Chain A
Amino acid sequence: MEIWSLPFSPSQRAKLLSAGYTYLHSFSHLSPSALAADLDVSPQEASDVLRVVTQAGMMRKPDSIVAGAQTAWDILCEDRTMNHITTSCEDLDGILGGGISCKEITEVGGVPGIGKTQLGIQLAVNVQIPVEYGGLGGKAIYVDTEGSFMVERAFQIAESCIQDIMDKVLQTDDVGVCQENLHVNAILANIFYFRICSYTEQIAVVNYLEKFISAQKDVKIIIIDSVTFHFRQDFDDLALRTRVLSALAQKMMKLAKKFNLAVVLLNQVTTKCTDGSFQLTLALGESWSHACTNRIILYWKGNERCAYLDKSPSLPLSAAPFSVTTKGIRSVASSCKRMRTT
């Protein structure tokens, strides 16, 4: 194995290559002090280098052709037991195959006022529905970049969610037990809120999340509202933007897979000029559109809100109507709808 394929910093790599160390076996029988003298670096740095090299050189006996690979059959069996996070709207759950799936990044985009933040708050509450009542019983992380998270609204939605569960449970006479376990304050306590004011903070939070989630152990959804905000205004270097965003997306993918949680990224819209006419598309450009696993576009159809599944590896592309009510996101048939303001 060659040195350039190992995760060294560019300056370390340059020093190693100019000293003639190109293959792993160049390091055989080398002590840290000898390496430090050769490369003209501190002994600490030399032992770090040797540690990376020995780790790469360890001959792991692979149980399959590549360590960590799973067969499609095992994945199929696992997926059968996988839970989805319901959106509280049956039609929307229907097009999503049961709800927002774990281990995947779902991007939700739409015009301002369509209900993206509402959906985000609804999901942060719904993920906490206990396993007995069809939920995941997990915690939520809400990364707010725009300042649109309203605690009062979250309180309202949490109350309605508990009410809905109680209504269902009433039929089975388990009311007492239910009332004890579900409390609005407990739900709010399980939403971890991060307020972000610049893109560097956004990158820092994503880097920090791995440690945070390892410590918390029960997080099942990460919502970033919205991922676009700090990358739109005053961001001159578009090439840097593409690099930073794709690195961010890959880190989220890794978190989703490693901790088996769902990631929901809320996005804004922009206009694109195609064939002389202007069309609404999601912001952040072409490269970003490849970063997510699933994509849902929210739009107005007359006076009704609709959601269109625009990208999915396993579901057909389809649309469903939904509504935003005082109770949160619900199906169209419910009453007290929040009407269009424009």
Chain B
Amino acid sequence: MPPLKSLQHQFPSIDSNLLHFCASHGIFSVEDFLVHDLYMLVALAERQTSSKGLKEGIAQVLTFLNNQHFPWMNGVELLESTQHNKHFLLTGFDGIDTLLCGGLCEGNLTELAGPSSSGKTQFCLHAAAHVAYTYMCSVLYLDTSNSFSSKRISYRVNRLLASPNKGEKGRSLEGIMSSILSHSVFDIFSMFETLHQLELSLSSQLFQAEIQNSKLRLLIVDSISSLITPILGGKGPQGHSLMLNVGFILKKLAIDYNLAVLVTNHTVVGEGGNSKPALGESWKSVPHTRLLLSRDQMSNICNMSILKHTSMACGQTASFRLDG
């Protein structure tokens, strides 16, 4: 909450008179304002000589506060909005799409955890290629370990273009691959900056008009754990709060702009020798859907199981094959 005096420039009715009055009651920031008894404040303002100006100022602060939160929606509106907007994006693996009852859900944060070399990056690359091809939209791939392989994407897109499909003429490899964007992020603060820029781009009207036919629908972060492991733990709660904040921002982006967000996580060895997803207990509640991936030794078959899902039972599994 900003200090009251910083609002002075924005709203002329918040003048030095009001600031002096508030200071005399121990109110220096907007947070103090919220916590204080507002009826008492208005009543005290009435008794002052410049009561009209003071009351105007107080009303202005209250309007400023009201604009800070999301508008209320009732259940029916929420259901309509979900049915209208929240579609499923097919990943291209039939077994997985059935397992997830339709694919990656827009507005949801999906986490894919798995031990090293289990197929997480391959799954992300294939899903990116498939979504860019099927929905003619753009995909943003935030890569933390330089594993974005344009070769694999081109291989997948070529396979899709070669498959018999009516009415798909005029689409080229270049066109589809140009709608898949990749950016490298190597630490948590550059991630915040990138997500902030993304939010600004998505919210600006100008941008939406320009990219009418290549709207962003899928955001992939591979992998979020590489950014968080260097800061998690240690003396302060710093790392912890940054981790939860990144989860919060990703979910906010997903809901506000109707994106499907897919993040990958690695696994650590838990009690009893079982592998469990990394990042600890607090992270468990952050993603909407959690999937665990495993690969049989020396094979191309990967097994995916549901750890957590908003509408499917846990424990169900499906397999897919990595070709090439």
Contact = CB atoms under 8 A, between A and B. Distances in A.
A103 interface: yes
B198 interface: yes
A314 B149 contact: yes
Nearest to B2: A26
B12 interface: no
Interface in B1-46: 1-3, 6, 9, 28-29, 31
Majority secondary structure of chain A interface residues (helix, strand, loop or mixed): mixed
A257 interface: yes
A332 B145 CA distance: 33
Contact of B178 (A72, A253, A287): A72
Interface string A281-301: 000001101111101000000
B226 to A, nearest CB: 6
Contacts of A60: 197
Given A79-B151, A240-B234, A250-B187, A25 B2 contact: yes
A30 B275 CA distance: 51
Interface string B133-148: 0000010110011111
Interface in B109-165: 115-117, 121-122, 125, 138, 140-141, 144-154
B1 A20 contact: yes
Contact of B197 (A30, A62, A239, A290): A62
B75 interface: no
Interface of A: 1, 4-7, 10, 13, 19-23, 25-30, 56, 59-60, 62, 64-76, 79, 103-105, 239-240, 242-244, 246-247, 249-251, 253-254, 256-257, 273-274, 286-287, 289-293, 295, 310-311, 313-314, 316-317
Given A65-B207, A72-B150, A314-B149, A246 B140 contact: no
A65 B217 CA distance: 12
Contacts of B255: none
Interface of B: 1-3, 6, 9, 28-29, 31, 115-117, 121-122, 125, 138, 140-141, 144-154, 173-174, 177-184, 186-187, 189, 192-194, 196-198, 200-202, 207, 211, 216, 223, 225-227, 229-234, 236, 238, 241-242, 245, 266-269, 273, 275, 278, 298, 324
A71 B180 contact: yes
Given A60-B197, A286-B269, A105 B146 contact: yes
Majority secondary structure of chain B interface residues (helix, strand, loop or mixed): mixed
Nearest to B235: A10
Contacts, number: 192
B150 A75 contact: yes
A289 B115 CA distance: 8
Contacts of B179: 71
Contacts of A251: 186
Given A64-B181, A65-B140, A26 B232 contact: no
Given A21-B3, A71-B181, A313 B268 contact: no
Given A65-B216, A242-B229, A274 B273 contact: yes
B184 A257 contact: yes
B9 A29 contact: yes
18 contacts: A10-B238, A22-B1, A25-B2, A26-B6, A66-B198, A72-B180, A72-B181, A73-B173, A76-B150, A240-B233, A243-B229, A243-B231, A250-B226, A253-B145, A253-B184, A273-B273, A286-B275, A290-B225
A5 B116 contact: no
B186 A250 contact: yes
A256 to B, nearest CB: 6
Nearest to B229: A246
A66 B194 contact: yes
Given A79-B151, A243-B232, A286-B266, A66 B146 contact: no
A289 B278 CA distance: 13
Q: Which of B180, B207, B216 has its CB near the most chain A CB atoms (within 10 A)? A: B180
B177 to A, nearest CB: 4
A68 B182 CA distance: 9
Given A290-B223, A317-B117, 13 more contacts: A1-B196, A29-B9, A65-B140, A65-B198, A65-B201, A68-B184, A72-B141, A72-B148, A76-B177, A250-B144, A254-B187, A289-B266, A313-B147
